Amino acid sequence: KAGVTQTPRYLIKTRGQQVTLSCSPISGHRSVSWYQQTPGQGLQFLFEYFSETQRNKGNFPGRFSGRQFSNSRSEMNVSTLELGDSALYLCASRTEETQYFGPGTRLLVL
Amino acid sequence: GQSLEQPSEVTAVEGAIVQINCTYQTSGFYGLSWYQQHDGGAPTFLSYNALDGLEETGRFSSFLSRSDSYGYLLLQELQMKDSASYFCAVRDRGGNTPLVFGKGTRLSVIA
């Protein structure tokens, strides 16, 4: 099976812009979780989608949003970008207790 | 909420054994996981402990003590390729709650 894929891999934006990141889970996986990874804060949970519904949400402002499509692909959107949003954004799909991460999208906000 | 504590950095010699500790505070508990992440790579699953005791997978072992809210990852016969960041993670309220990660331990293996 193909692994979790994420596009784009790298992105440069300026403050105030918005960005949409995409994630395709492993075939058959219905859960997609998103994490933000920064050097100082580690992996922080953003949200999880399961069967097109947001099942869990982390402690991030409303500028961060997401959705999941009927084919389990997921997108996350960040509006009004801030410098502090520069990070590696990881998505993961799972079976039982194992999460499978994609390679991530590295976002740089200038 | 949940909090996980693990050392930020550990250095060990090639061929040696190293233990990375993780203590957690959660309102409930649904298992402790470990993930490895090489620089520039994605985290990959290493092990999962739901019950007390030691789980062994090749050179890697993971231990859990639920009464002490403590676990560790043991790496034996260290190799240079084991240089990476290691994260412990927990779910506190069941299988449908998010996996919450510690801040990671950066392991450097030296010759």
At B56-77, the pLDDT tens digits run 999 999 999 999 999 999 999 9
Which of A42, A55, A99 lies nearest to residue B99, judging by beta carbons? Answer: A99
Q: Residue B109: pLDDT band by 50, 70, 90 thresholds?
A: very high
Per CB-CB distance under 8 Å, the chain B contacts of A4 are 42
The Cα–Cα gap between B33 and B10 comes to: 19
DSSP A84: G
**And the tokens for B77?**
């016969």
Residue B106 predicted with pLDDT over 70: yes
Letter for the amino acid at A10?
A: Y
Per CB-CB distance under 8 Å, the chain B contacts of A99 are 33, 35, 43, 45, 99
**What local confidence, expressed as pLDDT, does residue B8 receive?**
95
With H, G, I as helix, E, B as strand and everything else as coil, classify residue A83. helix
Backbone angles phi and psi of A107, in degrees to 5: -105, 130
The Cα–Cα gap between B57 and A14 comes to: 45
Give the A:B interface size as CB pairs under 8 Å.
49
Given a cut of 50, the residues of chain A with pLDDT beneath it are: none
In chain A, whose CA is at the least distance from the CA of B6? A42
Question: Among B93, B95, B75, which residue's Cα sits nearest to residue B84?
Answer: B75
Q: Is A39 on the interface with B (CB under 8 A)?
A: no
Do B50 and A33 count as a contact with CB atoms less than 8 A apart? no
Question: Among A90, A66, A64, which residue's Cα sits nearest to residue A76?
Answer: A66
Per CB-CB distance under 8 Å, the chain A contacts of B95 are 96-97
Question: Among B100, B38, B54, which residue's Cα sits nearest to residue A56?
Answer: B100
The Cα–Cα gap between B90 and B88 comes to: 7
Question: Among A26, A11, A6, which residue's Cα sits nearest to residue A75?
Answer: A6
Do A42 and B103 count as a contact with CB atoms less than 8 A apart? yes
Residues contacting B35, CB < 8 A, separation 6+: A99, B43, B44, B45, B46, B86, B87, B89, B101
**What local confidence, expressed as pLDDT, does residue B1 receive?**
66
Q: Is B67 on the interface with A (CB under 8 A)?
A: no
**B87-98 confidence digits (pLDDT tens):** 999 987 777 788
- From B80's Cα to the closest Cα of chain A, the distance in A is 22
Q: Is B45 on the interface with A (CB under 8 A)?
A: yes
CA contacts within 13 A on the Cβ side of B28: 9
- From B50's Cα to the closest Cα of chain A, the distance in A is 10
Question: Among B36, B59, B95, which residue's Cα sits nearest to residue A55?
Answer: B95
The Cα–Cα gap between A45 and A37 comes to: 9
**A76-86 confidence digits (pLDDT tens):** 999 999 999 99
CA B104 to chain centroid: 8
Per CB-CB distance under 8 Å, the chain B contacts of A97 are 31, 33, 48, 50, 95
